[in-house]
């Protein structure tokens, strides 16, 4: 169960799969990076959220030279900060690609990254990165992976993601309070990767995250086949999050394990590889 059978497959034969690079928040601790995932299908490899501590494990599974794209849900540091490390590799340290790395990110990402350096403007980033501004409803192709972006509810501009490949569907909430776009993203998904960053049971006031119960209810309403919880609220134990989400879902629920690859298969329900 712990061995990834995908390594025995030719890349073009390998189906949609999710590797958890980091599932922690809001800062990296030993053996727990912040939000970051590698989504692969066929020859495609997309780094979804570049949270602190995820660049290093990313390179256990793929190479920056051949990475298809980066997709960043929002610019909170716990989801985006390791893009700076990728710039050091690709822009400053001679890791070469045949074309700049496409970076799908909310507006302002290039300016924020450029702010670390003395050079004026953002044009100097072009030698390594090609920025694409995310917007609600945007659709992209990353080496054969279909990426659908939807705006979600957070305290900064934020997006969720639906990835389709070979008839399989992975949906990712990013960071979001409950909102209709999440159900659309997760509709019929084989695997719904959902944050559970709000550990309260009866939250009041401004919402920025989902409770485990809301993640479970989301999975049920969306008709998702299985639910993988991530970005758990501080102090929320994984087993408690899984139990609370399971009550409202009725399908399989797990908490994201770093370093583990999950197959996203249309039939049967998604299971860890």
Give whichever of 136 and 155 is closer to Zn ion, judged by the CB atom: 155
Q: Are 170 and 203 contacting, i.e. CB atoms less than 8 angstroms apart?
A: no
Q: Are 105 and 72 contacting, i.e. CB atoms less than 8 angstroms apart?
A: yes
Give whichever of 3 and 234 is closer to Zn ion, judged by the CB atom: 234
Helices 238-249 and 212-222 cross at an angle (nearest 10°) of: 40
Give whichever of 175 and 258 is closer to Zn ion, judged by the CB atom: 175
Q: Which stretch binds Zn ion (CB under 5 A): 6-14, 102-110, 167-175, 236-244?
A: 167-175
Supply 8's token pair.
Answer: 């025995």
Rounded least distance, CB 24 to Zn ion, Å? 13
Rounded least distance, CB 8 to Zn ion, Å? 37
- CA 215/CA 212 separation, integer angstroms: 5
Q: Are 110 and 127 contacting, i.e. CB atoms less than 8 angstroms apart?
A: no
**Sequence-distant (≥ 6) Cβ neighbours of residue 58 within 8 angstroms:** 21, 36, 38, 47, 64, 67
Rounded least distance, CB 76 to Zn ion, Å? 4
Rounded least distance, CB 230 to Zn ion, Å? 12
For Zn ion, which residue of 49, 175, 190, 198 counts as binding (CB under 5 A)?
175
Rounded least distance, CB 267 to Zn ion, Å? 34
- CA 95/CA 145 separation, integer angstroms: 24
Q: Which stretch binds Zn ion (CB under 5 A): 28-36, 71-79, 93-101, 214-222?
A: 71-79
Give whichever of 76 and 225 is closer to Zn ion, judged by the CB atom: 76
Q: Which stretch binds Zn ion (CB under 5 A): 40-48, 68-76, 213-221, 224-232?
A: 68-76
**Sequence-distant (≥ 6) Cβ neighbours of residue 9 within 8 angstroms:** none
Kindly state whether residue 153 participates in binding Zn ion, applying the rule CB under 5 A: no
Q: Are 258 and 230 contacting, i.e. CB atoms less than 8 angstroms apart?
A: no
Q: Which stretch binds Zn ion (CB under 5 A): 52-60, 72-80, 144-152, 237-245?
A: 72-80
Residues that bind Zn ion (CB under 5 A): 76, 175
């Amino acid at each position: 169960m712990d061995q990834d059978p995908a390594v025995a497959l030719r890349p073009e034969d390998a189906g949609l799969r999710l590797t958890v690079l980091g599932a922690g928040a809001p800062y990296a601790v030993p053996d727990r990076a912040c939000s970051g995932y590698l989504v692969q299908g066929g020859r495609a490899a997309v780094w979804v959220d570049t949270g602190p501590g995820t660049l290093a494990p990313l390179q256990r599974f793929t190479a920056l030279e051949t990475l298809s794209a980066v997709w960043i849900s929002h610019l909170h540091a716990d989801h985006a900060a390791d893009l700076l490390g990728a710039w050091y590799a690709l822009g400053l340290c001679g890791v070469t690609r045949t074309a700049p790395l496409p970076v799908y990110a909310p507006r302002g990402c290039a300016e924020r990254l450029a702010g670390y350096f003395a050079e004026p403007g953002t044009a100097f980033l072009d030698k390594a990165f090609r920025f694409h501004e995310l917007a609600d409803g945007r659709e992209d192709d990353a080496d054969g992976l279909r990426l659908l972006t939807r705006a979600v509810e957070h305290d900064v501009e934020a997006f969720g993601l639906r990835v389709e490949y070979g008839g399989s569907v992975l949906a990712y909430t990013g960071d979001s309070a409950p909102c209709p776009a999440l159900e659309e993203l997760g509709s019929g998904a084989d695997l719904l990767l959902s944050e559970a960053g709000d550990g309260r049971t009866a939250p009041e006031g401004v919402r920025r995250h989902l409770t485990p119960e809301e993640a479970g209810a989301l999975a049920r309403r969306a008709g998702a086949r299985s639910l993988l919880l991530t970005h758990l609220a501080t102090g929320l134990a994984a087993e408690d999050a899984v139990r609370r989400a399971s009550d409202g879902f009725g399908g399989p629920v797990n908490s994201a394990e770093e370093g583990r690859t999950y197959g996203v298969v249309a039939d049967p329900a998604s299971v860890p590889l």
